Structure 1
């Protein structure tokens, strides 16, 4: 991810996955003292990877909240962003938006085949989701699932194709289509958080039908 030590990389990963953190929260997650956490944050702040701001939370003194900077987010994989964006723009320019969507959906078909080959169609929904999250994590999405009262939440803490997706919404449409195909007709899928709209992660509510 970068040339920092593993301890500093772990701090960046926690801020990426969990979003803003207080010094105390971060120290607890790292299992170190608050002084140790403060030292790491100061080091990362000096590198331009994290930033802090004071926030009031009810009565008492404002708390210092830490988060990743744009440079900090950039430490995580971003699949060949530069050349991908150039290709997207050239396809739009020469072939048009419809042709670009057709190419993206064709790539999505390849992913559907790949995911279906890895996921047992007869498995339970939870088993399918765990396997899907595992595959997506291998692809750089830092995915996990959590059980909800009426279904599940598939969470992706990172988008390795974020810059490409900003250039063409077809990527996000194709992903949703892939999830629906892989998980079957007996579930409803709704995107509840979207990195492209400013959220810290993408999240999908998955609810069994019937």
Structure 2
């Protein structure tokens, strides 16, 4: 996943990683004027990639909030989605659900070994969460982490295996199991946002014991 988008793609990248935003906030993030941001967004809207909705807050004027359309989200594609879904459906039809779970379990073991190696030598929770976010970002999850008063929030703005997870949500549970294992028994992890449940991202709240 390219973390350095072209100029005309920056607004799309911003809305993907930060969610729907008002025009002024987009202009500030892009470092351009409000009129410049409006021009970019209208161009993207004509291409069907973004859309604006109106929100009323208090007694002030209604505010336009810009967000990605389904076509905009599709600019961050699932990895080999069509082939993956076809293989999973074929496995289920010919070998049964148990065969898919066997694959998920095996993949989980491989992932745990890999992430443990990536986090080797790290002892404090924040260092582990930071490194895990960096690794997941390289894998295409557009991952980042934020420090909170009582812990950390691991955010994945994109899911490159979303199609597979839609067919079999065992992949999502396996991901959660993997995080719990590699971060250690003293870390408590809870998924607070889930793309498959309609959220724009997956997010995990992580606290220490």
What residue ranges of structure 2 are gaps of 5+ in the alignment? none
Partner of 2:24: 24
Partner of 2:201: 201
Take 2:63 and 2:43, find their aligned partners in 1: how far apart are those partners?
20
Deviation at 1:27, TM superposition (A): 0.3
Q: TM-score, normalised by structure 2?
A: 0.95
Say which SS state the counterpart of residue 108 (structure 2) adopts: helix
Answering whether residue 131 of structure 2 is matched by residue 131 of structure 1, we say yes
Partner of 1:14: 14
Deviation at 1:60, TM superposition (A): 2.2
Partner of 2:40: 40
Say which SS state the counterpart of residue 87 (structure 2) adopts: helix
Say which SS state the counterpart of residue 200 (structure 1) adopts: coil
Deviation at 1:174, TM superposition (A): 0.7
For residues 1-210 of structure 1, the aligned pairs below 5 Å read: 6-209=6-209
Deviation at 1:121, TM superposition (A): 4.6
What is the RMSD of the two structures over their aligned residues, measured on CA atoms?
1.4
Say which SS state the counterpart of residue 140 (structure 1) adopts: helix
Say which SS state the counterpart of residue 113 (structure 1) adopts: helix
Take 2:172 and 2:205, find their aligned partners in 1: how far apart are those partners?
15
Q: TM-score, normalised by structure 1?
A: 0.95
Say which SS state the counterpart of residue 101 (structure 1) adopts: helix
Q: Deviations over 1:20-73 (max 9, x none)?
A: 111111001101000100110011011111011111111122111110000100
Take 2:77 and 2:8, find their aligned partners in 1: how far apart are those partners?
17
Matched-pair contact (CA < 8 Å) for 1:155–1:204: yes
The runs of at least 4 aligned residues of structure 1 exceeding 3 Å deviation read none
Deviation at 1:163, TM superposition (A): 1.3
Matched-pair contact (CA < 8 Å) for 1:77–1:140: no
Change (3 A) 1:120 1:62: same
Deviation at 1:146, TM superposition (A): 1.1
Take 1:193 and 1:121, find their aligned partners in 2: how far apart are those partners?
30
Say which SS state the counterpart of residue 182 (structure 1) adopts: helix
Say which SS state the counterpart of residue 120 (structure 1) adopts: coil
Matched-pair contact (CA < 8 Å) for 1:151–1:207: yes
